[in-house]
Structure 1
Amino acid sequence: MQSSLYVALSSQMAFQKRIETIANNVANASTPGFRREEIKFEQMLSNSANEQVAFASTGDTFIKREAGQTIHTGNPLDVAVQGDAWLGLQTPAGTVYTRDGRMQMTPEGELQSVAGYPVLDVGGAPLRINPNAGPVKIASDGMITQNGLQLGAIGLFTIAPDASLSRYDNSGVIPDKGAAPALDFNRVGVIQGHIEGSNVNPMWEMSQLIMASRSYDSVSNSINQSEDSLQEAIKALAPAS
């Protein structure tokens, strides 16, 4: 089979993956704390033919860490993380980190994420407050107080810039390197009564989706033309019956 057909097929697979990634970003444009994904493509060389042939890889996805917009909610159990830090959640997969600061309180006073995962303090223990002790105040360093009594602090964690992130649910991430407790509260903190929105720019993503879709269609047409050319060549070379 022609090498050009293999190259076109590899490009089609790459564009398909890009379309799926962009579509997922657009679908989560309004998901609090969501971090959009991008794909890095690399060239692969094959020596199986008489000459080197370059193929497009299917691409490696990675999560972009830029912060989203801070949105005021007025809910005292909502917090927006400021700076390069993450909240910690206790999940079946271990500790997961998120920028989705929407918390809820169980009847027993445990603070959980909207998905029901316990929110952790800096020591990695689930946070609890008194459901009958009045309004909750959360300071910029995450310290929680009720009626002037300190009940604990929301854990803020930093993830190494070179750590690879894998997604857990929509807004959670699991790094391939251990996260460390944040210590410099001049650089990181939380704002009570706010949440952080997604870092997806819907208009930009839609423009990228249109471009990727057009490229996919163009490659599909190229494949069809290549197949037609190959069939014509087979017919021309086939001995007459």
Structure 2
Amino acid sequence: METAGYVALARQTSLMKEMRVIANNIANANTTGFRQEGVIFAEYVEQGDGSKGVSMAQGTVRNTSLAQGTLDMTGGTFDVAIEGDGFFMVQTPNGNRLTRAGAFTPSAQGNLVTPDGYPVLDAGGAPLFVPPDASDLAIARDGTISTQGRPIGQIGVVVPNDPIQMEREGGVMFRADAGTVPVENPRVMQGFVEASNVDPILQVARMVEVQRAYEMGQSFMDREDERIRTAMKAFVK
């Protein structure tokens, strides 16, 4: 395949990657704590034999938006949202993970857990225990949990050392291999959850743009394929 064909193929592959990312964003527009993703295109130059280099762009990296989602009031005692920077840390079988989805609940053992049953960690990195008989439970702005005026724990709020290197796992979970640090002045809101930060209208508009670009690229590839076939037939004759 000639250089033009390689360029077109790389472009089509990148557009398909972006289309899958956009479709996933739209599908999670109503998922609590979901972070919108985008595709970062890297440009590189293909040097031809004795000819000028050809610039090509390829979608290689997914970029996660950390923009604040809408804070929806639920009134739930164990529903919490973070206003501003930070993530909750939860304990999973594969290690600690970060999330903005704060729809928590007490487990049968008394631990504060996610809907999937993963323990929510406190400021010291240990699972949070909520006494089964706790009454008038309150969660302060700094994440401190109190009952009958006595503090019983503090929800940990952290930020990754390297946000760019975070990797998504399980929809609303992220792995931060570079480590995390506590947020100095967290702003935790009891009785709220953070909605997805996806803008469905913009995502649908972008999907239309990508679809049109893909169709144009496919048309070019079809013409290029026909040109090469014609040239080969002429050469054989």
Q: Confirm or deny a common fold (TM above 0.5).
A: yes
Tell me which interval the TM-score lies in, with the shorter structure as reference length.
Answer: over 0.9
Partner of 2:230: 232
TM-score (norm 2): 0.95
SS of equivalent residue, structure 2 residue 38 = strand
Cα RMSD between the aligned structures? 1.4
Q: Is residue 62–residue 165 contact of structure 1 (8 Å, CA) maintained in 2?
A: no
Q: Is residue 89–residue 120 contact of structure 2 (8 Å, CA) maintained in 1?
A: yes
SS of equivalent residue, structure 2 residue 63 = strand
Structure 1: 5+ residue runs without aligned partners?
Answer: none
Cα distance in structure 1, aligned partners of 2:21 and 2:163: 22
Cα distance in structure 2, aligned partners of 1:49 and 1:201: 45
Q: Is the aligned partner of 1:170 residue 2:168?
A: no
Partner of 1:91: 92
How big is the shift at 1:17? 0.4
Cα distance in structure 2, aligned partners of 1:161 and 1:201: 25
How big is the shift at 1:178? 1.4
Structure 1 stretches of 4+ moved >4 Å: none
* Mapping of residues 215-226 of structure 1, within 5 Å: 215-226=213-224
TM-score (norm 1): 0.93
> Percent identity among equivalent residues?
33
SS of equivalent residue, structure 1 residue 58 = strand
* Mapping of residues 1-241 of structure 1, within 5 Å: 1-51=1-51, 52-160=53-161, 163-184=164-185, 188-239=186-237
* Pair 1:6–1:157, CA change in 2 (3 A): same
Question: Which amino acid letter does the alignment assign opposite residue 123 of structure 2?
Answer: V
Question: Which amino acid letter does the alignment assign opposite residue 230 of structure 1?
Answer: I
Instruction: Give the length in aligned residue pairs.
Output: 236
SS of equivalent residue, structure 2 residue 19 = helix
Cα distance in structure 2, aligned partners of 1:63 and 1:151: 34
Cα distance in structure 1, aligned partners of 2:98 and 2:76: 21
Write the deviation string for residues 164-200 of structure 1: whole angstroms up to 9, x where unpaired. Answer: 210021111122421111222xxx3111000001110
